[in-house]
Amino acid sequence: MNYEITLLTTMAISVIFALSLNLITGFCGQISLGHAAFQGVGAYAAAMLAKAGWPFFATLPVAMLLAGALGVVVGMASLRVREDFLAITTMGVVFLFVGVVRQQDWLGGELGLSAIPDHGLGKTGFMGVTLLACVAVALLSIHIRRTWMGRVFNGIAEDEDTMRVLGIDVPRYKLAAFAIGTALAGLSGAFYAYHLQFIGAENFGFIESITVLSMVVFGGIGSVAWVLIAAALLSALPAWFQVIGDYKLLVYGGLLFVMMRFSPGGMAALARRLFNPMATREGKS
């Protein structure tokens, strides 16, 4: 039972992380290659506060706030650059994050932060909290999509110049997407810190950023349900495929490539083709 509980918690944290990126990339069309940096900010914030004696639930809002604040800064920076440079700028952000954190001794330096205090909820309790948060984030994503903010996001993702002509303050909306998405990434980071009770800068680097991006793309950018499923599956991949343990990265890379090659819309597009071959393309999951 212990193993399953740990696994479910890991999956829940990954799903929150992926859904947070889905908001930025999926709803608003901004490709971020540095999302792990925001998870890292949340993780380190929660870890430092926990070590300073803060109770578990108090660290969460701070983690979200700090991650969101950094998100706004990065968002403002990324507004200045051309679209194809955005990916590389966000990549730069995550390398900066890792590079800075690694050199700071007060953040644990190269060795990272260990002995992060317990949350006091017990393994099952913690799993419950993360699963609840996971559901909440999914519901929030779905809700946002139903609001005018979601409709504007969709428009921006498709054709931002036309949105300007419709009176939309596009930069402001992009910043909003960044703020919400990065804050939620911070939340997943806080959970991550408590879950593993040990974090290092390299846990939040470029590889982790493209891993979470591939979960979003694999599921189908913008589709809440399928990104959830994809994130849950892919984060549990090492567990499902114990038998191919040595080859798991090979399978992972291969899966990504094959999916992009044959169904760029991800699992969502596959599902649409299978269950609804006659329907015209809609922006829903």
Partner 1 sequence: MLFIELIAQGLVQGSIYALIALGLTLVYGLLRILHVAHAALFTLGAYVGVLVCNASGSLAVAFVCAAVVAGIAGVLMYRLAYQPLLSQPPFVALIASIGLYIAAEEAFRIVFGAQGLSFTQPSLQGQVTLGGLQFKQAELMVMIGTVAIIAVLAWLQSRTRVGVACQATVSDPQMAESFGISLRQVRDINFFIGSALAGFAGVWVALLNNLVEPTMGSVPSYKALAIIVLGGLGSVPGTLAAALVLGVVEAFGTIYLGQLLDRNAIAFAFLIAVLMVRPQGLFARR
Partner 2 sequence: MTPADTKQALLAIDAVTVRFGGLLAIDNVSFEVREGELLGLIGPNGAGKTTMLRTITGVVRPTQGQVRLDDKPLNALPTHQRIRLGLALSQQLVRPLRGITLEDNVALAAAKAKTVRPLRALLHTSSQEELGLARRELARVGIESLATQSPATQPLGVLKRLELARALALGPRLLLLDEPLAGLNSKEAHALAETIADINRQGVTVVLIEHNLGEVLRICQRLVVLDNGRKIGEGEPRAVMADPVVRAAYLGSDEQEARHA
- Could you say which of partner 1, partner 2, none residue 100 binds, taking C-beta under 5 to 8 angstroms by partner kind? partner 1
Provide the minimum distance between the beta carbon of 283 and partner 2 in the complex, in angstroms, as a whole number.
Answer: 4
Q: How many residues in the shown chain lie near partner 1 by CB under 8 A?
A: 42
Instruction: Pull the structure tokens for residue 180.
Output: 């919400």
Ramachandran region of residue 8, left (φ > 0), alpha (ψ -120 to 50) or beta? alpha
Provide the minimum distance between the beta carbon of 171 and partner 2 in the complex, in angstroms, as a whole number.
Answer: 9
Nearer Cβ to partner 2, position 27 or 204? 27
Nearer Cβ to partner 2, position 161 or 246? 161
Chain positions contacting partner 2, by CB under 8 A: 143-144, 146-149, 151-152, 154-155, 158-159, 161-162, 164-170, 172-173, 175-176, 280-283
Instruction: Report the alpha-carbon distance of residue 239 to residue 158 in Å, rounded.
Output: 37
Instruction: Report the alpha-carbon distance of residue 212 to residue 160 in Å, rounded.
Output: 25
Instruction: Pull the structure tokens for residue 96.
Output: 């900066």
The answer to whether the CB of 193 falls within 8 A of the CB of 46 is yes
Residue 217 binds partner 1, judged by CB under 8 A:
yes
Among 114, 120, 172, 247, binds partner 1 (CB under 8 A): 247
Q: Which residues lie below 8 Å from residue 280, measured CB to CB, with a gap of 6+? A: none
The residue type found at 79 is L
The size of the chain, in residues, is 285
Provide the minimum distance between the beta carbon of 23 and partner 2 in the complex, in angstroms, as a whole number.
Answer: 12
**Residues between 185 and 214 with contacts to partner 1, criterion CB under 8 A:** 206, 210, 213-214
Among 253, 273, 276, 284, binds partner 1 (CB under 8 A): 253
The answer to whether the CB of 196 falls within 8 A of the CB of 234 is no
Among 185, 191, 176, 241, CA closest to 209 = 185
Residue 252 binds partner 1, judged by CB under 8 A:
yes
Give the CA dihedral 34, 38, 39, 43, nearest 10 degrees.
Answer: 140
Q: Residues in the site for partner 1, rule: CB under 8 A?
A: 25, 31, 77, 80-82, 84-85, 87-89, 91-93, 95-96, 98-100, 102-103, 206, 210, 213-214, 217, 221, 246-247, 249-250, 252-261, 264
